[in-house]
Chain A
Amino acid sequence: MTDISYSLAELVIAACAEVWRDDGEVMATGIGPLPRIGAGLAKLSFAPAIQTTDGECFYTSEPVGPGKRAAEPEFEGIANYDRVFSALWSGRRHALVGPVQFDRYGQANISVIGDHQKPKAAMLGARGFPGNSISHPNSFFFPSHNKRAFVEGEVDFVCMAGYNPARYRNGKPPVGLDLRRIITNLCVMDFGGPDHQVRVISLHPGVTFEEVQDNTGFPLARIADDIPTTPAPTAEQLSIIAQIDPNNVRATVFKDNPAGDRRAA
Protein backbone atom coordinates (compact mmCIF):
# COMPACT_ATOMS: atom_id res chain seq x y z
CA MET A 1 0.00 0.00 0.00
CA THR A 2 1.33 3.39 -1.00
CA ASP A 3 1.00 6.26 1.41
CA ILE A 4 -0.28 9.30 -0.42
CA SER A 5 -0.16 12.53 1.49
CA TYR A 6 -3.14 14.85 1.11
CA SER A 7 -4.49 17.90 2.86
CA LEU A 8 -7.74 18.19 4.82
CA ALA A 9 -9.00 20.47 2.03
CA GLU A 10 -8.34 17.72 -0.54
CA LEU A 11 -10.07 15.12 1.63
CA VAL A 12 -13.08 17.44 1.90
CA ILE A 13 -13.09 18.13 -1.87
CA ALA A 14 -13.24 14.38 -2.56
CA ALA A 15 -16.09 14.02 -0.05
CA CYS A 16 -17.91 16.98 -1.63
CA ALA A 17 -17.61 15.41 -5.10
CA GLU A 18 -19.42 12.29 -3.83
CA VAL A 19 -22.68 14.19 -3.32
CA TRP A 20 -23.22 14.33 -7.10
CA ARG A 21 -22.31 10.68 -7.78
CA ASP A 22 -25.74 9.33 -8.71
CA ASP A 23 -27.45 12.54 -9.84
CA GLY A 24 -27.31 12.12 -13.61
CA GLU A 25 -27.63 15.25 -15.75
CA VAL A 26 -28.27 18.05 -13.24
CA MET A 27 -27.00 21.55 -12.59
CA ALA A 28 -24.32 21.19 -9.91
CA THR A 29 -23.78 24.32 -7.84
CA GLY A 30 -20.95 24.29 -5.31
CA ILE A 31 -20.80 27.50 -3.28
CA GLY A 32 -17.31 28.34 -2.01
CA PRO A 33 -13.94 27.01 -3.21
CA LEU A 34 -14.03 23.43 -1.85
CA PRO A 35 -17.61 22.59 -2.95
CA ARG A 36 -16.88 24.20 -6.33
CA ILE A 37 -13.69 22.18 -6.85
CA GLY A 38 -15.64 19.15 -5.61
CA ALA A 39 -18.25 19.62 -8.34
CA GLY A 40 -15.42 19.88 -10.87
CA LEU A 41 -13.83 16.70 -9.56
CA ALA A 42 -17.15 14.85 -9.87
CA LYS A 43 -17.59 16.10 -13.44
CA LEU A 44 -14.07 15.10 -14.52
CA SER A 45 -14.28 11.66 -12.97
CA PHE A 46 -17.48 9.74 -12.24
CA ALA A 47 -20.27 12.25 -13.07
CA PRO A 48 -19.44 13.62 -16.54
CA ALA A 49 -23.06 14.61 -17.25
CA ILE A 50 -23.40 17.26 -14.54
CA GLN A 51 -23.54 20.86 -15.69
CA THR A 52 -21.30 23.43 -14.01
CA THR A 53 -20.95 27.16 -14.63
CA ASP A 54 -18.25 29.82 -14.78
CA GLY A 55 -19.71 31.24 -11.56
CA GLU A 56 -21.44 33.94 -13.55
CA CYS A 57 -23.90 33.17 -16.32
CA PHE A 58 -22.60 30.45 -18.62
CA TYR A 59 -22.36 26.69 -18.46
CA THR A 60 -18.86 25.58 -19.42
CA SER A 61 -17.64 22.37 -21.08
CA GLU A 62 -14.90 21.90 -18.46
CA PRO A 63 -15.20 22.84 -14.79
CA VAL A 64 -13.90 26.28 -13.85
CA GLY A 65 -11.92 26.49 -10.62
CA PRO A 66 -11.68 29.45 -8.27
CA GLY A 67 -9.33 32.39 -8.89
CA LYS A 68 -7.40 33.55 -11.96
CA ARG A 69 -7.81 31.62 -15.21
CA ALA A 70 -5.18 30.92 -17.82
CA ALA A 71 -7.72 30.96 -20.65
CA GLU A 72 -11.39 31.63 -21.21
CA PRO A 73 -13.37 28.40 -20.82
CA GLU A 74 -15.51 26.96 -23.61
CA PHE A 75 -19.12 28.02 -23.05
CA GLU A 76 -21.87 25.49 -23.73
CA GLY A 77 -25.05 27.20 -22.56
CA ILE A 78 -26.61 30.08 -20.68
CA ALA A 79 -27.17 30.09 -16.92
CA ASN A 80 -28.41 33.63 -16.43
CA TYR A 81 -30.47 34.65 -13.43
CA ASP A 82 -33.88 33.84 -14.90
CA ARG A 83 -32.71 30.45 -16.14
CA VAL A 84 -31.25 29.49 -12.77
CA PHE A 85 -34.75 29.73 -11.28
CA SER A 86 -36.24 27.80 -14.19
CA ALA A 87 -33.68 25.04 -13.64
CA LEU A 88 -34.00 24.91 -9.87
CA TRP A 89 -37.79 24.91 -9.83
CA SER A 90 -37.69 21.91 -12.16
CA GLY A 91 -35.70 19.99 -9.56
CA ARG A 92 -32.77 19.35 -11.91
CA ARG A 93 -30.18 20.89 -9.65
CA HIS A 94 -28.17 19.79 -6.64
CA ALA A 95 -26.55 22.57 -4.63
CA LEU A 96 -23.81 22.24 -2.04
CA VAL A 97 -24.00 25.32 0.15
CA GLY A 98 -22.50 26.70 3.35
CA PRO A 99 -25.06 28.00 5.85
CA VAL A 100 -24.09 29.81 9.06
CA GLN A 101 -26.41 27.85 11.38
CA PHE A 102 -27.87 24.37 11.04
CA ASP A 103 -30.17 22.36 13.30
CA ARG A 104 -31.25 18.76 13.91
CA TYR A 105 -34.01 19.06 11.28
CA GLY A 106 -31.65 20.29 8.56
CA GLN A 107 -33.11 23.79 8.83
CA ALA A 108 -30.44 26.24 7.72
CA ASN A 109 -29.91 29.95 8.37
CA ILE A 110 -27.94 32.64 6.51
CA SER A 111 -30.14 35.61 7.43
CA VAL A 112 -29.65 36.83 11.01
CA ILE A 113 -28.32 35.82 14.40
CA GLY A 114 -30.79 36.82 17.10
CA ASP A 115 -34.13 38.55 16.67
CA HIS A 116 -35.25 39.05 13.07
CA GLN A 117 -36.48 42.62 13.56
CA LYS A 118 -33.39 43.75 15.49
CA PRO A 119 -30.69 41.14 14.97
CA LYS A 120 -27.45 40.79 16.89
CA ALA A 121 -25.80 40.08 13.55
CA ALA A 122 -27.35 40.73 10.14
CA MET A 123 -25.91 38.50 7.46
CA LEU A 124 -26.97 38.05 3.84
CA GLY A 125 -30.70 37.55 3.93
CA ALA A 126 -32.46 34.33 2.98
CA ARG A 127 -31.26 34.54 -0.64
CA GLY A 128 -32.65 31.57 -2.60
CA PHE A 129 -32.48 29.12 0.29
CA PRO A 130 -36.25 28.73 0.83
CA GLY A 131 -36.93 27.88 -2.81
CA ASN A 132 -33.85 25.71 -3.20
CA SER A 133 -34.75 23.65 -0.15
CA ILE A 134 -38.14 22.49 -1.37
CA SER A 135 -37.29 22.23 -5.07
CA HIS A 136 -34.13 20.14 -5.45
CA PRO A 137 -31.54 18.15 -3.50
CA ASN A 138 -29.20 20.11 -1.24
CA SER A 139 -25.98 19.20 0.54
CA PHE A 140 -23.94 21.26 2.96
CA PHE A 141 -20.37 22.17 3.81
CA PHE A 142 -19.15 23.54 7.15
CA PRO A 143 -15.45 24.46 7.51
CA SER A 144 -15.77 24.63 11.33
CA HIS A 145 -17.78 21.89 12.98
CA ASN A 146 -18.88 23.40 16.31
CA LYS A 147 -21.96 24.12 18.42
CA ARG A 148 -22.34 27.65 17.05
CA ALA A 149 -22.90 26.15 13.61
CA PHE A 150 -24.75 22.99 14.73
CA VAL A 151 -27.12 24.62 17.21
CA GLU A 152 -28.98 23.02 20.08
CA GLY A 153 -32.53 24.22 19.32
CA GLU A 154 -33.81 25.51 16.01
CA VAL A 155 -31.78 27.98 13.96
CA ASP A 156 -32.58 31.65 14.64
CA PHE A 157 -34.31 32.23 11.27
CA VAL A 158 -35.29 29.25 9.16
CA CYS A 159 -34.18 30.09 5.60
CA MET A 160 -34.01 26.52 4.37
CA ALA A 161 -36.85 24.15 5.13
CA GLY A 162 -36.04 20.88 6.89
CA TYR A 163 -37.56 17.72 8.35
CA ASN A 164 -39.45 19.45 11.16
CA PRO A 165 -43.07 18.20 11.16
CA ALA A 166 -44.18 21.20 13.24
CA ARG A 167 -43.37 23.47 10.29
CA TYR A 168 -45.90 21.79 7.98
CA ARG A 169 -49.67 22.13 8.21
CA ASN A 170 -50.24 18.43 7.52
CA GLY A 171 -47.05 17.42 9.37
CA LYS A 172 -45.40 16.28 6.17
CA PRO A 173 -42.59 18.09 4.34
CA PRO A 174 -43.15 18.78 0.62
CA VAL A 175 -42.03 16.05 -1.78
CA GLY A 176 -39.24 18.23 -3.18
CA LEU A 177 -37.43 18.37 0.17
CA ASP A 178 -34.36 16.18 -0.21
CA LEU A 179 -31.48 16.97 2.13
CA ARG A 180 -28.48 14.84 1.28
CA ARG A 181 -25.06 15.13 2.89
CA ILE A 182 -23.26 17.36 5.36
CA ILE A 183 -19.50 17.57 4.98
CA THR A 184 -17.44 19.24 7.70
CA ASN A 185 -13.82 19.48 8.79
CA LEU A 186 -14.49 16.46 11.04
CA CYS A 187 -16.81 14.06 9.24
CA VAL A 188 -19.51 13.33 6.68
CA MET A 189 -23.12 13.07 7.82
CA ASP A 190 -26.52 12.46 6.26
CA PHE A 191 -30.16 12.32 7.35
CA GLY A 192 -30.38 8.53 7.35
CA GLY A 193 -31.12 8.05 11.06
CA PRO A 194 -34.60 7.29 12.45
CA ASP A 195 -37.08 10.04 11.43
CA HIS A 196 -34.37 11.75 9.37
CA GLN A 197 -32.06 12.06 12.35
CA VAL A 198 -28.64 13.38 11.38
CA ARG A 199 -26.21 10.49 11.25
CA VAL A 200 -22.43 10.26 10.99
CA ILE A 201 -21.61 8.13 7.94
CA SER A 202 -17.83 8.58 7.93
CA LEU A 203 -15.19 10.10 10.19
CA HIS A 204 -12.18 11.90 8.79
CA PRO A 205 -8.97 10.01 9.63
CA GLY A 206 -8.05 10.47 13.30
CA VAL A 207 -11.46 11.89 14.37
CA THR A 208 -13.70 10.06 16.85
CA PHE A 209 -17.50 9.97 17.02
CA GLU A 210 -17.29 11.46 20.53
CA GLU A 211 -15.32 14.44 19.21
CA VAL A 212 -18.01 15.06 16.58
CA GLN A 213 -20.83 14.67 19.10
CA ASP A 214 -19.09 17.03 21.57
CA ASN A 215 -19.02 19.70 18.87
CA THR A 216 -22.67 19.27 17.83
CA GLY A 217 -25.63 20.86 19.64
CA PHE A 218 -27.97 17.89 19.07
CA PRO A 219 -27.74 14.09 19.35
CA LEU A 220 -26.28 12.29 16.34
CA ALA A 221 -26.91 8.78 15.09
CA ARG A 222 -24.14 6.64 13.69
CA ILE A 223 -24.11 4.44 10.59
CA ALA A 224 -22.67 1.47 12.56
CA ASP A 225 -20.69 0.75 15.71
CA ASP A 226 -17.59 0.90 13.56
CA ILE A 227 -17.97 4.09 11.59
CA PRO A 228 -16.04 4.01 8.30
CA THR A 229 -13.17 6.43 7.68
CA THR A 230 -13.77 9.05 5.00
CA PRO A 231 -11.97 7.71 1.93
CA ALA A 232 -8.64 9.40 1.18
CA PRO A 233 -8.42 11.01 -2.26
CA THR A 234 -6.64 8.79 -4.76
CA ALA A 235 -3.54 9.88 -6.69
CA GLU A 236 -5.74 10.33 -9.75
CA GLN A 237 -8.20 12.50 -7.81
CA LEU A 238 -5.38 14.62 -6.40
CA SER A 239 -4.10 15.19 -9.91
CA ILE A 240 -7.57 16.27 -11.14
CA ILE A 241 -7.95 18.58 -8.11
CA ALA A 242 -4.61 20.22 -8.94
CA GLN A 243 -5.73 20.64 -12.54
CA ILE A 244 -9.01 22.36 -11.50
CA ASP A 245 -7.32 24.52 -8.86
CA PRO A 246 -3.92 25.58 -10.25
CA ASN A 247 -4.04 28.69 -8.01
CA ASN A 248 -4.09 26.40 -4.95
CA VAL A 249 -7.01 28.31 -3.46
CA ARG A 250 -7.81 25.09 -1.57
CA ALA A 251 -4.72 25.61 0.61
CA THR A 252 -6.20 28.84 2.01
CA VAL A 253 -9.52 27.48 3.32
CA PHE A 254 -8.33 25.88 6.57
CA LYS A 255 -5.84 27.67 8.82
CA ASP A 256 -2.28 26.42 8.13
CA ASN A 257 -3.61 23.98 5.51
CA PRO A 258 -3.56 20.91 7.79
CA ALA A 259 -2.97 17.33 6.66
CA GLY A 260 -6.01 15.24 5.83
CA ASP A 261 -4.93 12.45 8.12
CA ARG A 262 -4.66 13.85 11.63
CA ARG A 263 -3.03 10.64 12.81
CA ALA A 264 0.04 11.58 10.75
CA ALA A 265 0.39 14.94 12.53
Chain B
Amino acid sequence: MFDKRMTVDDIVDQLSDGMTIGIGGWATRRKPMALIRAIARSNLKDLTVMAGYGGMDIGLLAATGKIRKLVFAFASLDHFPLEPHFRNARQAGAFEVLELDEGMYHWGLRAGAMKLPFLPTRVGIGTDIINQSGFDFKFVTSPYADGEELVAMPALVPDVALIHAHRSDEKGNLLTLSKDALFDELLVRAAKKSFATVEKIVPTAELDMKANSRYNLVERAMIDGVAEAMLGAHPSSADPDYQLDLKHIKTYVESAASPEAWAEYKAKFIDVSEADYQAAVGGAEAVTALPVPIY
Protein backbone atom coordinates (compact mmCIF):
# COMPACT_ATOMS: atom_id res chain seq x y z
CA MET B 1 0.00 0.00 0.00
CA PHE B 2 1.13 3.52 -0.81
CA ASP B 3 1.91 5.04 2.56
CA LYS B 4 4.05 8.08 3.47
CA ARG B 5 3.42 8.05 7.20
CA MET B 6 6.47 8.59 9.38
CA THR B 7 7.18 9.76 12.91
CA VAL B 8 8.61 13.15 13.81
CA ASP B 9 11.91 11.43 14.63
CA ASP B 10 11.87 9.62 11.27
CA ILE B 11 11.70 13.04 9.60
CA VAL B 12 14.60 14.37 11.67
CA ASP B 13 16.57 11.23 10.67
CA GLN B 14 16.26 12.45 7.06
CA LEU B 15 18.23 15.57 7.93
CA SER B 16 22.01 15.83 8.09
CA ASP B 17 24.70 18.25 9.22
CA GLY B 18 25.19 21.26 6.97
CA MET B 19 21.81 20.95 5.26
CA THR B 20 19.68 23.89 4.18
CA ILE B 21 16.34 23.63 5.92
CA GLY B 22 13.35 25.77 4.93
CA ILE B 23 10.74 26.33 7.62
CA GLY B 24 7.13 27.22 6.86
CA GLY B 25 4.55 29.16 8.84
CA TRP B 26 4.66 32.79 9.93
CA ALA B 27 6.04 34.18 13.24
CA THR B 28 3.38 32.76 15.59
CA ARG B 29 1.30 30.84 13.05
CA ARG B 30 1.61 27.20 11.97
CA LYS B 31 5.28 26.78 12.77
CA PRO B 32 6.31 23.09 12.69
CA MET B 33 7.39 23.30 16.32
CA ALA B 34 7.33 19.57 17.15
CA LEU B 35 9.94 19.16 14.40
CA ILE B 36 11.89 22.19 15.61
CA ARG B 37 11.97 20.77 19.15
CA ALA B 38 13.14 17.41 17.78
CA ILE B 39 15.93 19.13 15.81
CA ALA B 40 16.87 21.10 18.93
CA ARG B 41 17.22 17.77 20.83
CA SER B 42 19.22 16.11 18.03
CA ASN B 43 22.96 16.13 17.30
CA LEU B 44 22.43 18.02 14.03
CA LYS B 45 24.75 20.97 13.45
CA ASP B 46 25.85 23.67 10.97
CA LEU B 47 22.39 24.11 9.48
CA THR B 48 21.50 26.82 7.03
CA VAL B 49 18.04 27.83 8.14
CA MET B 50 15.69 29.54 5.67
CA ALA B 51 12.86 31.05 7.66
CA GLY B 52 11.70 34.20 5.92
CA TYR B 53 8.84 34.77 8.31
CA GLY B 54 10.50 33.63 11.51
CA GLY B 55 9.48 33.29 15.12
CA MET B 56 10.24 30.74 17.82
CA ASP B 57 11.59 28.37 15.16
CA ILE B 58 14.57 30.68 14.63
CA GLY B 59 14.86 31.44 18.34
CA LEU B 60 14.93 27.80 19.47
CA LEU B 61 17.40 26.72 16.81
CA ALA B 62 19.57 29.76 17.62
CA ALA B 63 19.45 29.06 21.37
CA THR B 64 20.47 25.43 20.82
CA GLY B 65 23.35 26.40 18.51
CA LYS B 66 22.03 24.68 15.39
CA ILE B 67 22.34 27.59 12.97
CA ARG B 68 25.45 28.27 10.90
CA LYS B 69 23.66 30.62 8.54
CA LEU B 70 20.23 32.25 8.69
CA VAL B 71 18.29 33.42 5.64
CA PHE B 72 15.38 35.52 6.89
CA ALA B 73 13.33 38.71 6.60
CA PHE B 74 12.29 39.03 10.23
CA ALA B 75 12.14 37.17 13.52
CA SER B 76 9.27 38.18 15.78
CA LEU B 77 6.80 36.73 18.25
CA ASP B 78 4.22 39.23 16.99
CA HIS B 79 2.58 40.21 20.32
CA PHE B 80 6.12 40.22 21.72
CA PRO B 81 7.74 42.05 18.80
CA LEU B 82 11.36 41.05 19.41
CA GLU B 83 12.46 37.39 19.42
CA PRO B 84 14.79 37.27 22.46
CA HIS B 85 16.82 34.13 21.69
CA PHE B 86 17.35 35.27 18.10
CA ARG B 87 18.52 38.65 19.46
CA ASN B 88 20.94 37.11 21.94
CA ALA B 89 22.52 34.86 19.33
CA ARG B 90 22.62 37.53 16.64
CA GLN B 91 24.20 40.07 18.98
CA ALA B 92 26.83 37.48 19.90
CA GLY B 93 27.60 37.01 16.19
CA ALA B 94 26.68 33.33 16.56
CA PHE B 95 25.74 32.84 12.91
CA GLU B 96 26.06 34.37 9.47
CA VAL B 97 22.97 36.09 8.07
CA LEU B 98 21.45 36.86 4.71
CA GLU B 99 18.68 39.33 5.44
CA LEU B 100 15.99 39.73 2.79
CA ASP B 101 12.81 41.71 2.32
CA GLU B 102 9.68 39.60 2.91
CA GLY B 103 8.66 40.02 -0.71
CA MET B 104 12.14 39.09 -1.96
CA TYR B 105 11.97 35.90 0.10
CA HIS B 106 8.59 35.17 -1.46
CA TRP B 107 10.09 35.88 -4.90
CA GLY B 108 13.10 33.63 -4.22
CA LEU B 109 10.78 30.78 -3.28
CA ARG B 110 8.74 31.42 -6.42
CA ALA B 111 11.88 31.25 -8.56
CA GLY B 112 12.81 28.00 -6.80
CA ALA B 113 9.31 26.65 -7.34
CA MET B 114 9.49 27.56 -11.05
CA LYS B 115 12.98 26.02 -11.40
CA LEU B 116 14.28 29.37 -12.57
CA PRO B 117 17.72 30.64 -11.49
CA PHE B 118 16.27 34.02 -10.48
CA LEU B 119 13.32 36.35 -10.85
CA PRO B 120 13.70 40.07 -11.49
CA THR B 121 12.45 42.55 -8.92
CA ARG B 122 12.79 46.19 -7.89
CA VAL B 123 12.74 45.18 -4.25
CA GLY B 124 16.02 45.86 -2.49
CA ILE B 125 17.03 48.77 -4.72
CA GLY B 126 18.24 51.71 -2.64
CA THR B 127 18.70 49.62 0.50
CA ASP B 128 21.49 47.79 2.34
CA ILE B 129 19.78 44.46 1.61
CA ILE B 130 21.66 44.34 -1.70
CA ASN B 131 24.96 45.47 -0.13
CA GLN B 132 25.43 42.61 2.35
CA SER B 133 28.96 41.27 2.60
CA GLY B 134 27.77 37.65 2.67
CA PHE B 135 26.12 37.69 -0.75
CA ASP B 136 26.90 39.29 -4.09
CA PHE B 137 23.55 40.40 -5.50
CA LYS B 138 23.52 40.68 -9.29
CA PHE B 139 21.47 42.96 -11.51
CA VAL B 140 19.71 42.39 -14.82
CA THR B 141 18.69 44.92 -17.42
CA SER B 142 15.27 44.59 -18.98
CA PRO B 143 15.77 43.48 -22.62
CA TYR B 144 12.70 45.51 -23.63
CA ALA B 145 12.39 49.16 -24.53
CA ASP B 146 12.18 50.34 -20.90
CA GLY B 147 15.73 49.10 -20.24
CA GLU B 148 15.13 49.17 -16.49
CA GLU B 149 17.82 47.78 -14.24
CA LEU B 150 16.46 45.26 -11.76
CA VAL B 151 17.71 43.06 -8.96
CA ALA B 152 18.07 39.39 -9.90
CA MET B 153 16.63 37.64 -6.84
CA PRO B 154 18.21 34.17 -6.82
CA ALA B 155 16.07 31.08 -6.39
CA LEU B 156 15.81 29.84 -2.82
CA VAL B 157 16.15 26.05 -2.93
CA PRO B 158 16.18 24.38 0.49
CA ASP B 159 17.34 20.77 0.71
CA VAL B 160 14.31 20.12 2.86
CA ALA B 161 11.10 22.00 3.63
CA LEU B 162 9.37 21.47 6.97
CA ILE B 163 5.77 22.59 7.38
CA HIS B 164 2.82 22.03 9.69
CA ALA B 165 -0.72 21.50 8.40
CA HIS B 166 -4.05 20.40 9.84
CA ARG B 167 -4.99 17.12 8.18
CA SER B 168 -3.52 14.57 5.87
CA ASP B 169 -4.23 11.10 4.64
CA GLU B 170 -1.52 8.44 4.55
CA LYS B 171 -0.60 9.44 1.00
CA GLY B 172 0.25 13.02 1.91
CA ASN B 173 -2.87 14.78 0.64
CA LEU B 174 -2.71 17.82 2.91
CA LEU B 175 -5.33 20.23 4.15
CA THR B 176 -4.36 23.54 5.68
CA LEU B 177 -7.57 24.76 7.25
CA SER B 178 -6.44 28.18 8.47
CA LYS B 179 -7.70 31.40 6.88
CA ASP B 180 -4.25 32.15 5.51
CA ALA B 181 -2.22 29.49 3.67
CA LEU B 182 0.86 31.75 4.00
CA PHE B 183 3.68 30.76 1.61
CA ASP B 184 3.96 27.09 2.60
CA GLU B 185 2.97 25.95 -0.89
CA LEU B 186 5.85 27.85 -2.51
CA LEU B 187 8.30 26.63 0.11
CA VAL B 188 7.34 23.03 -0.61
CA ARG B 189 7.55 23.57 -4.36
CA ALA B 190 10.97 25.22 -4.05
CA ALA B 191 12.51 22.54 -1.80
CA LYS B 192 14.18 19.34 -3.00
CA LYS B 193 12.27 17.33 -0.39
CA SER B 194 9.36 18.22 1.86
CA PHE B 195 7.99 16.83 5.09
CA ALA B 196 4.84 17.82 6.89
CA THR B 197 3.57 17.32 10.38
CA VAL B 198 -0.21 17.41 10.74
CA GLU B 199 -2.60 17.56 13.64
CA LYS B 200 -4.31 14.41 12.50
CA ILE B 201 -3.88 11.72 9.84
CA VAL B 202 -7.26 10.48 8.62
CA PRO B 203 -8.61 8.23 5.83
CA THR B 204 -8.85 10.05 2.49
CA ALA B 205 -12.67 10.08 2.65
CA GLU B 206 -12.55 12.02 5.90
CA LEU B 207 -10.62 14.83 4.24
CA ASP B 208 -13.89 15.54 2.38
CA MET B 209 -11.86 16.98 -0.49
CA LYS B 210 -14.95 17.90 -2.47
CA ALA B 211 -15.84 20.44 0.21
CA ASN B 212 -12.30 21.26 1.30
CA SER B 213 -10.33 21.24 -1.94
CA ARG B 214 -9.45 24.94 -1.73
CA TYR B 215 -7.56 24.14 1.46
CA ASN B 216 -5.50 21.44 -0.28
CA LEU B 217 -2.05 22.98 0.00
CA VAL B 218 -0.12 21.28 -2.80
CA GLU B 219 0.00 18.11 -4.89
CA ARG B 220 0.87 15.09 -2.76
CA ALA B 221 3.68 14.32 -5.19
CA MET B 222 5.54 17.22 -3.55
CA ILE B 223 5.29 15.71 -0.06
CA ASP B 224 7.87 13.06 0.84
CA GLY B 225 6.59 12.17 4.27
CA VAL B 226 3.88 13.06 6.72
CA ALA B 227 3.90 12.64 10.50
CA GLU B 228 1.00 12.94 12.89
CA ALA B 229 1.90 15.49 15.56
CA MET B 230 -1.00 16.67 17.65
CA LEU B 231 -0.33 20.22 18.94
CA GLY B 232 2.67 20.11 16.59
CA ALA B 233 2.54 23.88 16.05
CA HIS B 234 2.27 24.78 19.73
CA PRO B 235 2.94 27.42 21.06
CA SER B 236 2.25 28.96 17.63
CA SER B 237 -1.29 28.57 16.34
CA ALA B 238 -2.95 26.01 14.11
CA ASP B 239 -6.17 27.98 13.78
CA PRO B 240 -8.98 26.80 13.72
CA ASP B 241 -7.80 23.76 15.76
CA TYR B 242 -6.11 25.97 18.37
CA GLN B 243 -4.80 29.50 18.86
CA LEU B 244 -1.35 30.70 19.83
CA ASP B 245 -0.43 30.25 23.49
CA LEU B 246 0.51 33.75 24.65
CA LYS B 247 1.16 32.58 28.20
CA HIS B 248 3.64 29.96 27.02
CA ILE B 249 5.26 32.41 24.61
CA LYS B 250 5.75 34.74 27.59
CA THR B 251 7.43 31.91 29.52
CA TYR B 252 9.65 31.31 26.50
CA VAL B 253 10.49 35.03 26.24
CA GLU B 254 11.46 35.09 29.92
CA SER B 255 13.73 32.07 29.41
CA ALA B 256 16.09 34.32 27.43
CA ALA B 257 16.83 36.46 30.48
CA SER B 258 19.69 34.31 31.80
CA PRO B 259 21.53 31.02 31.11
CA GLU B 260 19.83 29.55 34.19
CA ALA B 261 16.37 30.51 32.97
CA TRP B 262 17.14 29.00 29.57
CA ALA B 263 18.47 25.76 31.13
CA GLU B 264 15.26 25.48 33.11
CA TYR B 265 13.06 26.05 30.06
CA LYS B 266 15.09 23.61 27.98
CA ALA B 267 14.91 20.88 30.62
CA LYS B 268 11.17 21.27 30.98
CA PHE B 269 10.02 21.84 27.39
CA ILE B 270 12.75 20.75 24.96
CA ASP B 271 14.68 17.84 26.41
CA VAL B 272 11.51 15.81 26.83
CA SER B 273 9.27 13.64 24.66
CA GLU B 274 6.41 15.28 22.79
CA ALA B 275 3.96 13.50 25.12
CA ASP B 276 5.68 15.05 28.12
CA TYR B 277 5.79 18.41 26.35
CA GLN B 278 2.04 18.27 25.75
CA ALA B 279 1.44 17.42 29.38
CA ALA B 280 3.75 20.26 30.49
CA VAL B 281 1.75 22.80 28.48
CA GLY B 282 -1.60 21.63 29.83
CA GLY B 283 -2.60 18.98 27.31
CA ALA B 284 -4.91 19.18 24.30
CA GLU B 285 -7.86 20.28 26.35
CA ALA B 286 -6.13 23.42 27.63
CA VAL B 287 -4.53 24.25 24.27
CA THR B 288 -7.73 23.90 22.24
CA ALA B 289 -9.46 26.20 24.77
CA LEU B 290 -6.99 29.07 24.20
CA PRO B 291 -8.72 32.35 23.28
CA VAL B 292 -8.62 33.84 19.78
CA PRO B 293 -5.86 36.50 19.80
CA ILE B 294 -6.58 40.11 18.98
CA TYR B 295 -4.37 41.65 16.31
Contact = CB atoms under 8 A, between A and B. Distances in A.
A57 B179 contact: yes
Given A127-B74, A135-B122, 9 more contacts: A57-B179, A125-B72, A130-B104, A131-B123, A134-B123, A157-B128, A158-B127, A174-B126, A177-B126
Nearest to A134: B122
Contacts of A157: 128
A118 interface: yes
A54 B182 CA distance: 17
A167 interface: yes
A117 B295 contact: no
Interface stretch (B2-10, B81-89, B202-210, B265-273): B81-89
A118 B90 CA distance: 7
A133 interface: yes
Contacts of B104: 130-131
Given A68-B294, A82-B183, A117 B97 contact: yes
Contact of A134 (B100, B126, B132): B126
B65 interface: no
Contact of B99 (A125, A160, A169, A176): A125
A85 interface: yes
A137 to B, nearest CB: 15
B86 A122 contact: yes
Interface string B131-143: 0111000010000
B180 A57 contact: yes
Contacts of B181: 80, 82
The contact size tier of chain B is: 35 or more
A127 B125 CA distance: 15
Contacts of B73: 125-128
- Which of B74, B82, B149 has its CB near the most chain A CB atoms (within 10 A)? B74
A126 B54 CA distance: 12
B259 interface: no
Interface of B: 26, 53-54, 72-76, 81-82, 86-87, 90-93, 96-97, 99-104, 106, 122-129, 132-134, 139, 149, 179-183, 294-295
- Which of A56, A89, A107, A119 has its CB near the most chain B CB atoms (within 10 A)? A56
- Which of A54, A124, A159 has its CB near the most chain B CB atoms (within 10 A)? A124
B74 A133 contact: no
B109 to A, nearest CB: 11
A11 B239 CA distance: 38
Given A80-B180, A85-B106, A119-B90, A124 B76 contact: yes
27 contacts: A56-B180, A58-B179, A80-B180, A81-B26, A82-B183, A85-B103, A107-B126, A117-B97, A117-B133, A119-B91, A125-B75, A126-B74, A126-B100, A126-B127, A128-B101, A129-B101, A130-B103, A130-B104, A130-B126, A134-B122, A135-B122, A135-B123, A159-B127, A159-B129, A162-B126, A164-B126, A167-B126
A77 B125 CA distance: 31
Interface in A21-57: 54-57
Interface in A141-171: 157-162, 164, 167-170
B294 A67 contact: yes
A135 B104 CA distance: 13
Nearest to A121: B91
A10 to B, nearest CB: 22
Interface of A: 54-58, 67-69, 80-82, 85, 88-89, 107, 111-112, 116-131, 133-135, 157-162, 164, 167-170, 173-174, 176-177
A130 B101 contact: yes
Contacts of B91: 118-122
B290 to A, nearest CB: 16
A40 B102 CA distance: 26
A177 B92 CA distance: 35
A133 B180 contact: no
B142 to A, nearest CB: 13
Contacts of B103: 85, 88-89, 128, 130-131
B125 A161 contact: yes
